């Protein structure tokens, strides 16, 4: 067994590199996973790549198997799919999902991997972490039958939320984004699309995921009286101004945060494992393939990540492919 792996590290803000990693011998209760695919969540990971994590959030933003510290050097990431090469007999040869950074092989506790159902292609399973975020958001939002809903921000998280909302009976769901190319994503997911200026108002619920001040302001404008904005965006070290005068109080509007780091209080009896297992089950829908908008080889990551961060490569989820012989 090859005990030397390679990992992608952010050496300093704006610059990444591949490093050799010596793997430890797996102990009892651990598995060796050979990566098949990993995913780059363009919002959070590119913010980390740019060095935009504020010092006050360094601890809160740590990924489960992160090494190093912000702003760098740091090994960061959390969407990895691989095959178990060593470990308990019941797991050897199984495809698993793990919240691990971009690395060719790794050793983790058995409890850190979740078996991917045979019905889910490994290449799609990289979306599990983002669909898990969408599940938690909808537990927080608690949409009702017949609700009028807008999702403002058609990135990876917003589109995942819209895809799940499309399954709610009797709802009016509209994906709202300033980028007209997101219309194709919305069509593939089975929801309507609108530019911000054309979005339908009188919404009972608006899920905001654009990570822009303008998007959050527009989300408030789209609400009906006593409606709620569920805020999924994370702004890093940027400050946001909002029009909390005007009709905010007279219309009794609500802004509520949601964050995947904690299981929604609405489902306090569920574990992180329960939530992730549900996300993987939901990935049986092939329409979610629309969220994967590009792919490159692992060896290309040092060149690809700056282009993702700058927007030169437009992406929702960018998939990383690993050489089977690595």
Model pLDDT for residues 130-170, shown as the tens digit of each residue? 999 999 999 999 999 999 999 999 999 999 999 999 999 99
Cα dihedral sign, 314-223-186-322: positive
Residue 275 placed within a domain: no
Supply the range of the domain harboring residue 226: 130-264
Residues 199 and 291 in one domain: no
Model pLDDT for residues 7-60, shown as the tens digit of each residue? 999 999 999 999 999 999 999 999 999 999 999 987 789 889 999 898 888 988
Q: Read off the tokens for 244.
A: 């909390």
Q: Which residues contact 153 (CB under 8 A, 6 or more apart)?
A: 176, 177, 208, 209, 210, 211, 212, 215, 232, 233
Give residue 195's pLDDT: 98
Give residue 326's pLDDT: 63
Residue 271 placed within a domain: no
Give me the percent of the chain exceeding a pLDDT of 70. 99
| Banded pLDDT at 200 (limits 50, 70, 90) | very high
Residue 215 placed within a domain: yes
How many domains does the chain divide into?
Answer: 2
Backbone φ and ψ for 275, nearest 5 degrees, come out as -65, -45
| Arithmetic mean of pLDDT over the chain | 94
Residues 70 and 102 in one domain: yes
Residues 243 and 305 in one domain: no
Residues 75 and 162 in one domain: no
CATH code, 314: 3.90.180.10
Residues 297 and 216 in one domain: no
Residue 27 placed within a domain: yes
Cα dihedral sign, 193-199-202-205: positive
Report d(CA 304, CA 320) in Å as an integer. Answer: 10
Residues 149 and 108 in one domain: no
* Whole-prediction pTM: 0.90
In terms of residues, how long is the chain?
326
CATH code, 142: 3.40.50.720
Residue 269 placed within a domain: no
Residues 40 and 56 in one domain: yes
SS3 letters for the chain?
CCCEEEEEEEEECCEEEEEEEECCCCCCCEEEEEEEEEEEEHHHHHHHHHCCCCHHHCCCCCCCCCEECCCCCEECCCCEEEEEEECCCCCCCCEEEECCCCECEEEEEHHHEEECCCCCCHHHHCCHHHHHHHHHHHHHHCCCCCCEEEEECCCHHHHHHHHHHCCCCCCEEEEECCCCCHHHHHHHHCCEEECHHHCCCCEEEEEECCCCHHHHHHHHHCEEEEEEEEECCCCCCCCCCCCCCCCCCCCCCEEEECCCCCCCHHHCCCCHHHHHHHHHHHCCCHHHHHHEEEEEEHHHHHHHHHHHHHCCCCCCEEEEECCCCC
Give residue 56's pLDDT: 86
Model pLDDT for residues 228-247, shown as the tens digit of each residue? 999 999 887 788 899 898 88
Q: Read off the tokens for 28.
A: 């009892």
Residue 276 placed within a domain: no
Report d(CA 294, CA 318) in Å as an integer. Answer: 5
Measured CA to CA in angstroms, residue 238 lies from 230, 235, 306 at distances of: 19, 5, 20
């Amino acid at each position: 067994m090859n005990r030397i792996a390679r990992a992608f590290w952010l050496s300093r803000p704006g610059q990444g590199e591949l490093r050799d990693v010596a793997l430890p011998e797996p102990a009892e209760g651990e598995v060796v996973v050979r990566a098949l695919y990993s995913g780059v969540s363009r919002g959070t990971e590119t913010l980390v790549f740019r060095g935009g994590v504020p010092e006050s959030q360094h601890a809160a933003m740590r990924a489960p198997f992160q090494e190093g510290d912000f702003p760098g050097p740091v090994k960061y990431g959390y969407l990895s799919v691989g095959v178990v090469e060593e470990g308990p007999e019941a797991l050897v040869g199984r495809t698993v999902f793990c919240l691990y950074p971009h690395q060719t092989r790794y050793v983790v506790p058995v409890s850190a991997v979740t078996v991917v159902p045979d019905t889910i292609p490994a290449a799609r399973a990289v979306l599990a972490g983002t669909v898990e975020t969408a599940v938690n958001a909808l537990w927080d939002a608690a949409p009702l039958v017949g609700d009028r809903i807008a999702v403002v921000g058609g990135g990876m998280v917003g589109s995942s939320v819209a895809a799940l909302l499309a399954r709610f009976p009797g709802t009016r769901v509209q994906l709202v984004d300033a980028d007209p190319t997101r219309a194709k994503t919305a069509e593939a997911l089975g929801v309507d699309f609108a530019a911000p200026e054309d979005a339908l108002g009188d919404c009972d619920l608006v899920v905001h995921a654009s990570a822009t001040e303008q998007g959050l302001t527009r989300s408030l404008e789209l609400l009906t009286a006593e409606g709620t904005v569920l805020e999924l965006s994370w702004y890093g070290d940027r400050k946001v101004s909002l029009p909390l005068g005007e009709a905010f109080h007279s219309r009794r509007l609500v802004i509520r945060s949601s964050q995947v780091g904690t299981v929604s209080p609405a489902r306090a009896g569920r574990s992180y494992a329960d939530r992730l297992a549900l996300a993987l089950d939901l990935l049986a829908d092939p329409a979610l393939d629309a969220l994967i908008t590009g792919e490159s080889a692992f060896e290309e990551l040092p060149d690809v990540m700056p282009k993702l961060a700058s927007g030169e490569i437009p992406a929702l989820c960018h998939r990383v492919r690993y050489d089977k012989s690595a």
